[in-house]
Structure formats: structure tokens, C-alpha cells
């Protein structure tokens, strides 16, 4: 149902790496009308150039924050202009524009914290080129937490039928065991449980939890982390009333019967849970950061430099990220949160 202008939500999209497919996806998204307002963050010149390359009609409108939010009309693009440091060409990375990407994210955080926007949807960025520019960078999730002064966040990828949050995010395997402390695990589960209730309309979440080791440690024969860390935390939070199941072996936790029961599958590290989700739902998944003081979703893919500028980029994941963000806004406001 189309929202009225008085209740129209306002979302912000950061366009990501300028040499990737993000600008193309935004121009394509702008070809359709939307039941809420979304505004693109990036270079007006880049969006105009992209539309011309794709031969797509586009009216670019500078964003006016003092005006009431109105649903987007087809072939119109509202923009907060962020100038490129140097001109950008599709598929050609340049270190000079690394600061452009980070400036967009800094503006995005400020605009969400001051409630100009109800949610942030981030386009794909290239971590490698940012690091090559001499800027230590591990990902959106960590940067948004740091910039918003948030001590703990949870990265979760989701499809229409599967949610996989992570205890740790972008770490080398050798650092994972020492990173997963009882305090961290308890904090992650609490954030996850609260977010499922307040942003995903699940009154009593059922969370399945993976072990860290093969076979969930095999009673200590394949590792002690389950016994020393994971099981005590699960017992403690279960006693508080949470519905937690585990630790379960990661190789069998995604069985069809488990997927029918669980509201989320908590993985201990990045490559433990995400390969299954991306196999089952690649291109139809969304990355959600839980625990931030604002709503943030993202596409589930990278910059796709190999097809940038060719008109081949689809917008499925972007559309789903916008849809999930809007649904989270509705649910969050129903719980009295701005």
C-alpha cells in the first residue's frame, strides 16, 4: 500500500565504489516509482554520466531536507552531491577516490544520526583499493560502528527464508578462537534477540547456535571452546527465558527441519555460515547491521568490476535491501523507536 506523504519514510543510499556497479544500479532503480523516498549519496556528475552511458532517461534533483518526504517518481533521482576526487571510469579502480567513498559513509552516518533519514542502504565498496590508499579498512560493518560510537554490532545476512548473524566478522581464522569470549558471545546474542523482536516482528525468537569446532567439539575431543565458552552462555541466557538451541555442528545445522524451526542461525565466523546462505539465496540476500543507533542494510554482493559499465548489473539485491530497510523502519516505529 502506498504511504501518504505525512508518513513517507526517507532512506539514504550510498553509491559505493564509483568504478563498480553501484552507480549503474542506482540509475536503474530510479527508473521506477517507489512508495517511499530514497535519496542517493554520490557524485551528480557520475550519475549523469552513467545514465548517458546506459541511454536511460534521468532527471537529477538536488536533495532538499527542508521539504517533506515524498515517494520517488519514475525517472527521477534525488541526490546529495559528493564530488569525486578524480574522474572515474567503469571497472578501473583508483586510490584517489578512496576518500570519496569514505566521505560518503561519514555523511551517511551523520544524516542518519540526526534523523534526516530513517535508514541507510549501502552500495558495494572495494576494501582492497581503500587499503591500498593507505587507509586501514575492514568493512562497512566495523566502520559504521566506529563512526557512530557503537561498541558492539552484529552482522547478519538474510534471505526471505534464512537469517545468518555472525559472532565475528572479518578476521583471519587464527584469531577467531581467542576473540570469541563469553562476554562477546552474550552481547551478540542479546543484540540479535532484541533486534529480531523489535525490527523483524518476532515476539519469541528461536535461535540455533553453531559450535566453533567440527562436530561442535565432540565433547571436548575436537576443541574446548564449546565447553568453556558457548555452552555456559547458552545456559545462562536460556535461564533468562531466551529460546536458544545448541551448540550444533555447522555441517548439519541448516537441515530442512531446522530451517523450518529457527528464526536465525548464529555462526561463529564469516565463512562458517555465509556460504550456505549465499548458495541458497545469492542475489536475493541482504546484509543487515544490528545494534547500530540507526537501520542499515546492504546488498549481498561486491563491486562486480568485470561487468561495470556494461549495463549488465541487476538490482535484485538492492531492491531487497531497500524493502527490508523499509520493513524494519515500520517495525521499529511500531515499538516507539524513532
Q: Are residues 161 and 25 in the same domain?
A: no
pLDDT, tens only, 99-123: 999 999 999 999 999 999 999 999 9
Do 128 and 1 lie in one domain? The reply is yes
Radius of gyration of the chain from Cα atoms? 20
Cell numbers describing residue 228: 568453556
Q: Residue 28 is inside which H or E element, if any?
A: helix 22-29
Residues 9 and 142 in one domain: yes
Task: Please report which confidence band the pLDDT of residue 4 belongs to, taking 50, 70 and 90 as the band edges.
Answer: very low
- The C-alpha atoms of residue 245 and residue 286 are separated, in whole angstroms, by 24
295 or 332, greater pLDDT: 295
Residues 176, 224 share a domain: yes
Please state whether beta strands 37-42 and 295-299 pair in parallel, antiparallel, or not at all (unpaired): unpaired
Residue 142 has pLDDT above 70, yes or no: yes
| Mean pLDDT for the stretch of residues 129-152 | 93
- Residue 1 confidence (pLDDT) above 60: no
3-state DSSP assignment of residue 25? helix
The residue among 267, 285, 303 that closes a domain is 285
Structure confidence at residue 2 (pLDDT):
37
Residue where a domain terminates, one of 266, 285, 304: 285
pLDDT at 223 over 70: yes
* Domain encompassing residue 134: 1-150+292-338
Residues 142 and 184 in one domain: no
Q: What is the mean predicted confidence (pLDDT) over 269-298?
A: 93
Q: According to DSSP H, which parts of 78-181 are helical? A: 98-113, 127-132, 140-147, 176-179
| Residues 177 and 276 both lie in one domain | yes
Tell me: do 23 and 48 sit in the same domain.
yes
Rounded average pLDDT over 186-194:
98
Packing angle, helices 44-54 and 22-29, rounded to 10? 70
Q: Is there a single domain that holds both residue 273 and residue 251?
A: yes
**CATH number assigned to the domain comprising residue 181:** 3.40.718.10
- If asked whether residues 163 and 182 sit together in one domain, one would say yes
pLDDT at residue 281 tops 80:
yes
3-state helix/strand/coil string of 167-195:
CCCCCCHHHHHHHCCHHHHHHHHHHHHHH
Same domain, 138 and 3: yes
Nearest Cα to 99, choosing from 120, 83, 119, 80? 83
Q: Identify the pLDDT of residue 283.
A: 74
pLDDT of 192 reads 98
Helix (H/G/I), strand (E/B), else coil: 266: strand
- Render pLDDT for 38-53 as a digit per residue (tens, 0 to 9): 999 999 999 999 999 9
Residue 5: which pLDDT band, with cuts at 50, 70 and 90?
very low
**DSSP 8-state assignment for residue 215:** G
Residue 289 banded pLDDT, cuts 50, 70, 90: very high
pLDDT per position as a tens digit, 301-329:
899 999 999 999 999 999 999 999 999 99
Place of cell 558492539: 152
In the sheet that holds 243-248, the strands lie side by side as: 243-248, 206-210, 264-266
The count of structural domains within the chain is 2
Same domain, 190 and 233: yes
Check whether residue 61 and residue 190 sit in a common domain. no
pLDDT at 260 over 80: yes
Percentage with pLDDT > 90 across the chain = 90
Amino acid at each position: 500500500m502506498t504511504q501518504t506523504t505525512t508518513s513517507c519514510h526517507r532512506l539514504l543510499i550510498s553509491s559505493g565504489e564509483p568504478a563498480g556497479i553501484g552507480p549503474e544500479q542506482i540509475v536503474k532503480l530510479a527508473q521506477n516509482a517507489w512508495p517511499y523516498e530514497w535519496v542517493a549519496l554520490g557524485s551528480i556528475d557520475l550519475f549523469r554520466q552513467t545514465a548517458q552511458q546506459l541511454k536511460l532517461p534521468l532527471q537529477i534533483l538536488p536533495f532538499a531536507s527542508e521539504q517533506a518526504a515524498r515517494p520517488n517518481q519514475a525517472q527521477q533521482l534525488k541526490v546529495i552531491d559528493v564530488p569525486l576526487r578524480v574522474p572515474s571510469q567503469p571497472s578501473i579502480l583508483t586510490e584517489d577516490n578512496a576518500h570519496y567513498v569514505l566521505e560518503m559513509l561519514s555523511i551517511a552516518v551523520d544524516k542518519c544520526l540526526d534523523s534526516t533519514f530513517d535508514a541507510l542502504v549501502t552500495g558495494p565498496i572495494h576494501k582492497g583499493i581503500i587499503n591500498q590508499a593507505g587507509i586501514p579498512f575492514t568493512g562497512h560493518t566495523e566502520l559504521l560502528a566506529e563512526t557512530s560510537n557503537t561498541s558492539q554490532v552484529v552482522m547478519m545476512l538474510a534471505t526471505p527464508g534464512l537469517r545468518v548473524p555472525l559472532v565475528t566478522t572479518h578476521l583471519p581464522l587464527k584469531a577467531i578462537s581467542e576473540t570469541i569470549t563469553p562476554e562477546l558471545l552474550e552481547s551478540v546474542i542479546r543484540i540479535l534477540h532484541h533486534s529480531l523482536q523489535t525490527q523483524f516482528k518476532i515476539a519469541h525468537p528461536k535461535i540455533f547456535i553453531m559450535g566453533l569446532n567440527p562436530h561442535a567439539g565432540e565433547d571436548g575431543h575436537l576443541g574446548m571452546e564449546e565447553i568453556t565458552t558457548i555452552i555456559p552462555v547458552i545456559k545462562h541466557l536460556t535461564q533468562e527465558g531466551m529460546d536458544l538451541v545448541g551448540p550444533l555442528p555447522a555441517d548439519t545445522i541448516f537441515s530442512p527441519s531446522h530451517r523450518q524451526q529457527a528464526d536465525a542461525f548464529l555462526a561463529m565466523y564469516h565463512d562458517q555460515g555465509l556460504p550456505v546462505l549465499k548458495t541458497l539465496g545469492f542475489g536475493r540476500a541482504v546484509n543487515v547491521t544490528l545494534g547500530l543507533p540507526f537501520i542499515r542494510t546492504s546488498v549481498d554482493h561486491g563491486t562486480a568490476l568485470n561487468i561495470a559499465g556494461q549495463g549488465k548489473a541487476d538490482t535484485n539485491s538492492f531492491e531487497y535491501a531497500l524493502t527490508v530497510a523499509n520493513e524494519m523502519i515500520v517495525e521499529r516505529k511500531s515499538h516507539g523507536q524513532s
